[in-house]
Amino acid sequence: MRTKVFSFIRGLISEPDGTPSSTRVLMILFSLFTMHLIWRCFYHIYQLKDPMMVSIWLANFPLILTALMGLIALPYALNKGATSLSDIATMIANAATKRRRSTPKSEE
């Protein structure tokens, strides 16, 4: 039973090929932070006595949730963006290398 739990956790924080993934670790940590923050917000709203304050909190809650979802997705988006830019740079470098090899040298 214990080995299944450890292999599940290892699978959560690793890429499919088994290499550790800092992106996944950050997403898990940000998700836990977000869940705790949402719980604390609802706890605070529940403790309020003024109905106007409750309505202000609840009216702005979708904005808070959207910002927190952006925080959770940020490591993945940065990782994918960096990978895409790296792939584009590699394609440009390969094209430039092929162009240099294919151009005839001028005779002096």
Per-domain boundaries in the chain: 2-94
pLDDT-above-70 percentage for the chain:
94
Confidence at residue 73, expressed as pLDDT on a 0 to 100 scale? 84
Q: Are 42 and 36 in contact (CB under 8 A)?
A: no
Q: What is the pLDDT of residues 55-90, one digit of tens each?
A: 999 999 999 889 888 888 888 888 888 888 888 988
3-state secondary structure of 1: coil
Q: What are phi and psi of 74, to 5 degrees?
A: -60, -50
**pLDDT above 90 (res 36):** yes
CA–CA dist 52, 25 (Å, integer): 39
**pLDDT at position 104:** 67
Number of other CB atoms surrounding residue 13 within 10 Å: 14
Average the pLDDT over 14-20 and give the result.
77
The answer to whether 71 and 27 are in contact (CB under 8 A) is: no
At 59 the pLDDT is: 92
pLDDT at 32 over 80: yes
Contacts of 26 (CB under 8 A, 6+ apart): 75
Structure tokens at 23: 């992106």
Mean pLDDT of the 89-97 span = 87
- Using a cut of 0.75, tell me whether the model's pTM lies above it: no
- How confident is the model over 27-49, as a mean pLDDT? 90
Mean per-residue pLDDT of the chain: 84
